[in-house]
């Protein structure tokens, strides 16, 4: 038999594990009088004890307590977790104490990018703040502001903000989730065929979903756009200008299916993420349907380089939109950056991506294609949270001759 060393180690270690099941203090079962929490100020004790599948009257199950400690330790809510026993009302009776030190419940994320696309220069800035332990219950309150400001060239600007409440375990069901949010934005965008659209929007939404199988999810959503204003200006070939303007409210029903098997949301080394999203929009008696989505696949080669391919939109997870400036078709790689000696940088990656986006047709009906590249660095820092800095550039290729 040709065992590799690690398997030999595993098998050898299994032998004493049988003995491990026995308690060194004998078989006297301890009975739990109560379970209690210490050190929790923002986090409710119910939330903490919800991670321990034992109740008063049960026998102490050391394996379960050890698992509960690991489960609690995996949460970002705590900087340390200890579980220990104290004497109970009588010999053989104990109090189970869960002592925690709470971590900063706020997570921060920043994205700053300089965009030199074929016809414009813009600056992108995104700030995101998430309370990961709202009211000490493990719910989330997430807010972000997004600005894509033109610096030179064709106008392509976008400003938006969103606040959302997320219950990752709706109705105490580990597979159900609920999202309720409010968002608004302003977009002023000029396309290469001379069409300029200004869109203002404010709306409220609610979605419920269920995680399926190992990595999939299904979400049903409704959004009420209480206000939408669209102004469109088009320059025609003969030099004339056409203008339209409309204001309305709308109801949007949507369904999304996706999966996420990536091993890390910010620094994935393997797995895939995908989502397909279909919406049905009702506007003053008219009905429209739209479908979009995206897919991303990541893998890592033996030298530690992670490779990625992405098609269409940057796929979101079931409860979280990811903000990323990208091309329609992307291929790239990233390399890890180690932690800094002073602890400011905890980990990071630098990355390079090449991409292509079809840009439709110009006024002469010639097909246009955008080719470009993006390079950046993503860092997990002590002071600022997650920081993503990048430069993206592209050029436009116009196919000669009409289609």
> Of 94 and 256, which has the nearer Cβ to other proteins?
94
Pairing mode of beta strands 106-117, 385-398: parallel
**Could you tell me the smallest distance in angstroms from the CB atom of residue 403 to other proteins?**
44
**Could you tell me the smallest distance in angstroms from the CB atom of residue 166 to other proteins?**
6
> Of 101 and 149, which has the nearer Cβ to other proteins?
101
Distance in angstroms (rounded) separating the CA atoms of residues 228 and 250: 8
Helix runs in 146-283, H state only: none
> Of 71 and 235, which has the nearer Cβ to other proteins?
71
**Could you tell me the smallest distance in angstroms from the CB atom of residue 174 to other proteins?**
6
- Decide: helix, strand or coil at residue 171: helix
Residue ranges of E strands in 301-344: 306-312, 329-337
> Of 27 and 400, which has the nearer Cβ to other proteins?
27
> Of 115 and 319, which has the nearer Cβ to other proteins?
319
**CA angle, 358 then 364 then 370, to 5°:** 20
> Of 92 and 360, which has the nearer Cβ to other proteins?
92
Number of H helices and E strands in the chain, helices first, is 3, 18
The alpha carbon of residue 341 and the mean position of all alpha carbons in its chain are separated, in whole angstroms, by 28
Residue ranges of E strands in 19-138: 31-38, 78-87, 93-102, 106-117, 120-134
**Could you tell me the smallest distance in angstroms from the CB atom of residue 130 to other proteins?**
5
**Could you tell me the smallest distance in angstroms from the CB atom of residue 281 to other proteins?**
27
**Could you tell me the smallest distance in angstroms from the CB atom of residue 292 to other proteins?**
22
**Could you tell me the smallest distance in angstroms from the CB atom of residue 402 to other proteins?**
48
Helix runs in 59-217, H state only: 62-73
> Of 167 and 353, which has the nearer Cβ to other proteins?
167
Whether the CB-CB separation of 208 and 178 falls below 8 Å is answered with yes
> What b-and-e string marks burial along 222-260, b requiring 16 or more CB atoms within 10 Å of the CB?
ebebeebeeeeeeeeeeeeeeeeeeeeebebebbbbbbb
């Amino acid at each position: 038999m040709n065992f590799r060393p690690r398997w030999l180690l595993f098998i050898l270690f299994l032998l004493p594990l049988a003995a491990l099941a026995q308690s060194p203090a004998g078989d006297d079962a301890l009975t739990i009088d109560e379970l209690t929490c210490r050190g929790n100020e923002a986090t409710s004790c119910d939330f903490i004890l919800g991670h321990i599948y034992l109740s008063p009257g049960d026998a102490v199950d050391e394996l379960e307590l050890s698992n509960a400690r690991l489960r609690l330790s995996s949460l970002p809510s705590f900087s340390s977790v200890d579980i220990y026993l104290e004497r109970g009302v009588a010999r053989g009776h104990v109090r189970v104490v869960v002592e925690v030190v709470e971590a900063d419940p706020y997570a921060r994320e920043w994205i700053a990018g300089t965009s030199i696309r074929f016809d414009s220069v813009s600056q992108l800035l995104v700030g995101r703040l998430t309370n990961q332990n709202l009211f000490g219950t493990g719910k989330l309150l997430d807010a972000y502001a997004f600005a894509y400001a033109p610096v030179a060239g064709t106008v392509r600007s976008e400003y938006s903000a969103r606040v959302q409440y997320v219950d990752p375990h709706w109705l105490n069901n580990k597979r159900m989730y609920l999202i309720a949010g409010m968002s608004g934005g302003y977009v002023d965008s000029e396309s290469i065929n001379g069409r300029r659209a200004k869109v203002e929007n404010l709306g409220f939404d609610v979605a419920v979903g269920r995680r399926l199988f190992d990595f999939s999810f299904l979400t049903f959503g409704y959004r009420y756009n209480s206000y939408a204003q669209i102004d469109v200006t088009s320059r025609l070939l003969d030099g004339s200008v056409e203008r339209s303007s409309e204001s309305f409210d709308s109801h949007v029903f949507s369904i999304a299916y996706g999966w996420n098997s990536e091993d890390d949301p910010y620094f994935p080394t393997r797995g895939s993420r995908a989502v397909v999203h279909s919406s049905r929009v009702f506007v003053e008696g008219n009905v429209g349907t739209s479908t979009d989505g995206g897919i991303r696949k990541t893998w890592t080669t033996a030298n530690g380089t992670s490779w990625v391919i992405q098609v269409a939109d940057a796929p979101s997870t079931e409860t979280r939109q990811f903000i990323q400036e990208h091309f329609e078709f992307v291929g790239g790689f990233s390399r890890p950056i180690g932690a800094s000696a002073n602890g400011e940088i905890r980990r990071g990656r630098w990355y390079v991506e090449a991409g292509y986006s079809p840009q439709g047709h110009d006024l002469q009906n010639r097909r246009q294609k955008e080719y470009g590249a993006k390079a950046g660095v993503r860092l997990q820092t002590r002071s600022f949270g997650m920081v993503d800095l990048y430069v993206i550039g592209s050029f436009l290729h116009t196919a000669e001759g009409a289609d």
